Structure 1
Amino acid sequence: MNRLGSLRGSYGLDSDRSDIEIDMMPLIDMIFILLIFFLVTASFVKESGIEVNRPEAASAEMKEATGMIIGITPEGYVFIDRNQVELRRVRGLVEIFLTENSDGGVIIDADGECPTSKLIAVLDQCRLAGAENIAVSASKPKG
């Protein structure tokens, strides 16, 4: 037997290589830990779920949607999270949102043709719920 053959025999290298396995459990555990981390740290945005024609404002600024979005249609219907809600439910839903996201804001996405009284009523309900960071969405004029 040559020298390489004696080394293989002493280290058990001449056995069949088909019994070598890679333990995947630590990798799977790490993936689950990362998944849980991203789910816990992610901030979820509640959208209104409707398309509106925003009024134009020269002072409009682009901001990230970091909170609850309340949509108001031209007919005055209020939508939160793709569901039509009555005005009396807005305050409770905003309170729930603020308990889950203490630094979250509320964006009122009102159509340019919606009744002003409905916009003011929704704004009032948000303030009564304790929201301090409230914005009304608008778009910059083209041109």
Structure 2
Amino acid sequence: MWAGQSKWDKGTEPMGEINVTPLVDVMLVLLIIFMVTAPLLSQGVNVDLPDAESPAMQQNVEPLVVSIQADGKLFIQKQAIELKQLAPRIEAIRKQKPGLPVFIRGDSKTPYGRVAEVMSLLETAGIRKVGLVTEPHR
């Protein structure tokens, strides 16, 4: 039989609490990761969207976003593009991904004529359905 001393002194009892320090460390790391990656999830260029009442759309596919800034500059996703290049570029993208939805993110100060021009060019590129992105009423 073993006659040595046990780990526990006779005057102390074992601690029955859970050490949460590693859990807090992991949660803080996850929080930092989400804070860094959240701004990267926005699509297109930053524009001041108009307010409108509309239900949120549920999608599984990342759409193709055409953004129009207040000064009329065009962007596909985050890449600047000239107006005359829009239709050929959209056609090339849609050949690779035929069912890709197309959304227009127009700044609230963008002239309506510019939005109509873009929609007309999208129609010549074979796009029959175009979504207009808005913000809910604030």
* Superposition TM-score, scaled by structure 1 size: 0.61
Match 1:56 to one of 51, 55, 58 = 51
Q: CA deviation at 1:63?
A: 4.0
Q: CA deviation at 1:60?
A: 4.6
1:54-75 Cα offsets, whole Å, 9 max, x none, are 1011125334463210111011
More helix by share: 1
Q: Please say if residues 69 and 106 of structure 1, whose CA atoms lie closer than 8 Å, have aligned partners that are also in contact.
A: yes
The residue aligned with 1:87 is 83
Larger radius of gyration: 1
The 8 Å contact of residues 105 and 132 in structure 1, kept in 2 or not, is answered as: no
**Which residue matches 2:132?**
136
Q: Which residue of 1 aligns with 2:109?
A: 113
The 1:121/1:106 distance shift into structure 2, 3 A limit, reads same
> Which amino acid is the alignment partner of residue 57 of structure 2?
M
Aligned to 2:94: 98
What is the alpha-carbon distance in structure 2 between the residues aligned to residue 67 and residue 103 of structure 1?
A: 10
Identify the range of structure 1 (64-73 vs 124-133) with the bigger mean alpha-carbon deviation. Answer: 64-73
The RMSD of aligned alpha carbons is 1.8
- Unpaired runs of 5+ residues, structure 1, are 1-46
Displacement of 1:50 after TM fit? 1.3
Provide TM-score, normalisation by structure 2: 0.63
Unaligned runs of 5+ residues in structure 2 are 1-41
Which among 64, 68, 79 is matched to residue 68 of structure 1?
64
The number of residue pairs the alignment matches comes to 96
> 2:45–2:77: 8 Å Cα contact kept in structure 1?
no
Cα distance in structure 2, aligned partners of 1:76 and 1:48: 18
